[in-house]
């Protein structure tokens, strides 16, 4: 069983504590899932690195042989009519796996929000347009609002039909934490995994020792 699980539901406007669960919202009162689940023993397998955005983006002196993916479950504003929970208590959500190039820091200018300024050592930014067609299936990209907690992954591109998926080639580099305002260019925002782990350690003192064993690289402020 997870030690901590964060859940968020429509209409929550305050921080609540119920046992080990913590519910949070952002300053606008919108759902914002800051933490997902931390399973005992996870830290031993989290050999991920958070590094300067110029090193992990797909431009310049970054790593052009890598792709980035956002993987998670967009939230429903309302459940479908007559929807029923499964016997296990899980809601049937359709996952999204969206591939894209990251934006270099010098491309963030037109996306900046004075209320939540970007920080090169903390943020990862990429364009996310809901009007873009899905690569498979009908429809367009889902609303990323409510997707906080989705993983941002980066892995080496494999083009050979017989190539195997290797876990060491796929790294968790960020957690999705926000989207652009309606009047701004379409984009989504992630926090680097090192900063995210620091937030978890601050809120859950009992996990600090385990998180301290995770091998991450902090970036200069």
CA distance 31 to 16: 13
Q: pLDDT tens across 56-102, in order?
A: 655 444 555 667 777 776 544 334 444 444 444 444 455 667 777 88
Q: What's the fold here for domain 40-77+91-212?
A: Thrombin, subunit H (2.40.10)
Q: Which residue has the tokens 């300053």?
A: 27
**b (16+ CB within 10 A) / e for 45-56:** ebebbbbebeeb
Spell out the residues 6+ positions from residue 165 whose beta carbon is closer than 8 angstroms to its own. Answer: 158
User: Would you state the structure tokens that stand for residue 102, as one six-digit string?
Assistant: 């990251």
User: Would you state the structure tokens that stand for residue 92, as one six-digit string?
Assistant: 């049937």
How much is the pLDDT for 138? 65
Q: What H or E segment, with its residue span, contains residue 41?
A: none
In this predicted structure, which of 48-57, 73-82, 175-184, 202-211 has the lowest mean pLDDT? 73-82
How much is the pLDDT for 53? 61
CA distance 201 to 215: 14
């Amino acid at each position: 069983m997870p030690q901590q699980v964060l859940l968020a539901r429509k209409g929550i406007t305050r921080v609540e504590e119920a046992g080990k669960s913590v519910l949070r919202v952002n300053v606008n009162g919108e759902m914002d899932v800051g933490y997902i689940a931390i399973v005992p023993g996870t830290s031993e397998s989290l050999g991920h690195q958070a590094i300067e955005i110029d090193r992990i983006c797909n431009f310049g002196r970054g790593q052009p042989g890598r792709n980035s993916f956002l993987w998670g479950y967009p939230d429903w504003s309302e459940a479908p009519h007559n929807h029923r929970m499964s016997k296990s208590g899980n809601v049937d959500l359709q996952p999204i796996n969206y591939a894209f190039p990251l934006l270099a820091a010098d491309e963030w200018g037109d996306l900046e929000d004075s209320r939540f300024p970007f920080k090169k050592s903390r943020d990862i930014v990429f364009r996310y347009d809901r009007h873009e067609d899905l690569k498979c299936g009908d429809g367009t990209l889902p609303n990323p609002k409510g997707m906080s907690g989705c993983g941002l992954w980066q892995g080496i591109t494999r083009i050979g039909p017989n190539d195997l998926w290797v876990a060491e080639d796929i790294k968790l580099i960020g957690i999705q934490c926000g989207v652009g305002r309606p009047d701004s260019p379409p984009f989504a925002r992630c926090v680097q995994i090192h900063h995210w782990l620091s937030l978890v350690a601050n809120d859950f003192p009992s996990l600090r020792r385990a998180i301290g064993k995770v091998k991450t690289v902090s970036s200069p402020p």
